[in-house]
Structure formats: structure tokens, C-alpha cells
Amino acid sequence: MANWTLEADEVVSLPLDELALRVLTDYRDNNEWNWRNWMLLAMQEAYPRRPDAVRALAEAWSWILNHGLVAPNLDKGDHAVVVSRQGEAFLDRGAAWLRSVERLDVELVPALERTARPQFLRGDFETAAFVAMKEVEVQLRAISGLGHDLVGVKLAQEAFRQGGPLHREETQAGEAVAIMDLFKGAIGLFKNPASHRRVDLSDATEAAEIVLLADLLMRLLKRLEVEAQGEDG
């Protein structure tokens, strides 16, 4: 803990993930190899009279271990760990990035699992958001049966307009317009700009939300497809 400078009150007051980031940074930068030894130093030398600070650091280590930010170092025995690949990404990109990864820790539709999630985990947020909305457009075209001459907003409008292939006569008029506007807005805002110009999407949280929005839209399309098949049956 040669470079450890946090006062006890700071240790207690920091959010857990931010504290974990400080702990793991110190562990790596000082070439530590045993997390329990690190904790003993904290208890005996850094905060001998502050059990609350020691408890907070123990919670940070529990958080680090539970999130897979370290991996066992089998060459050195019990409590020996090294920073994992996930941990290196955490140290490089920060707590906000890991929160966004956890935000996407849900079961996405298969197409997004194959395309958007891998790009997101690589840190390519712009591509992740673009391919997620592209998958929405691909599925929208497939389910509606419309041709490749229609793209983006025009495709969504033609699919959901009154008399269009995805319009349902039994749907209340306001709701029918709303779902059309939902798809037009999502594709127009998050897919079309990236098709025409470079978009600087560096916010991991925003990218995660776009992927989740795409997941919702694709689930809605799947529901419409199932309903249409039921009507035909």
C-alpha cells in the first residue's frame, strides 16, 4: 500500500465500485499477489483504529471477487490472485463502464447476442449501437415483407401505416400511430445518423440503453409476427 493515500473517512464514504477501483489499482500497481495480505496491511498499518474503514475495504474486496475482476493464481496458493482480463478493462475504462456492462447482463434476443453484445464488450460502443438498430431494421423488413427499396424511417412508416403489413385494424388509432412513431424515432435517431456520418458515441451507458431499446423493439416485432401467424392459422 505504498501509494495508498485515502483517509479513513474517504474510504467509508466512497461508493463501493469506486472504492473497489482504488483498491484494485493499488493492488496491481504495487505488484501485490495476495489479497488477504493486502487487507492485513490495511488493518494493521493504514487504519489500525478504524474498523469501519477496514470493513469497507473488505466489502470492496468481496465486490472485486464476486465480479470476476481477479482470478486465482494457482502458483502461489490460497488467497493469491491476479487481475483478470475483466479487471484490466475495469481499471482501464472505469466504474461507469462496468456498470454499463452489468446493465446489459440480461438475455438479449439471439441476433443481438451475436452482434451487438460482442462489440459492446470490446468497447466499440458506436458499432454496438449501430448494429443493434440495424438488426431491428433487418427484422422489420423480414416480418413486413417489404422490399430493399425502403430503408430506415421510410421502411418503418410503410410497415406500420394504416393498410401497411404490420398495421392491425383492431388496434386503437392512437396506439397504432404510437408504435409507428416509436420505430421511426428509434431508427431515425440511433441507426440512420451512423449510416450517413461518423457518430462519436463514447458513453457506455447510452450505448447500453440503445442496445436494450433495440432488444425491446425486436421483441415487439416477434410478438407481431406470432400474432399474424395466429390470424393466418
For the stretch 53-101, pLDDT in tens is: 999 999 999 999 999 999 999 888 888 999 999 999 899 988 888 888 8
Do 89 and 108 reside in the same domain of the chain?
no
Do 117 and 88 reside in the same domain of the chain?
no
Quote the domain boundaries for residue 159. Answer: 101-232
Which of 178, 180, 175, 153 is CA-nearest to residue 165?
Answer: 180
- Confidence check: pLDDT of 232 > 60: no
Q: Which pTM does this prediction carry? A: 0.75
Do 105 and 200 reside in the same domain of the chain?
yes
Last residue of a domain, one of 93, 121, 150: 93
Domain annotation covers residue 105: yes
Do 36 and 116 reside in the same domain of the chain?
no
Question: Cα separations (Å) of 105 from 120, 134, 180, 195?
Answer: 12, 21, 29, 27
Q: Answer for the pair 143, 151: CB distance below 8 angstroms, yes or no.
A: no
Do 111 and 192 reside in the same domain of the chain?
yes
Domain annotation covers residue 3: no
Domain annotation covers residue 1: no
Burial degree of 126 (CB within 10 A; 0-12, 13-18, 19+): middle
Domain annotation covers residue 2: no
Do 107 and 88 reside in the same domain of the chain?
no
Q: Residues 117-124: what's their mean pLDDT?
A: 88
Which residues lie below 8 Å from residue 71, measured CB to CB, with a gap of 6+?
81, 82, 83, 84
- Kindly compute the dihedral angle of the four CA atoms of residues 157, 163, 167, 171, in this order, to the nearest 10 degrees: 120
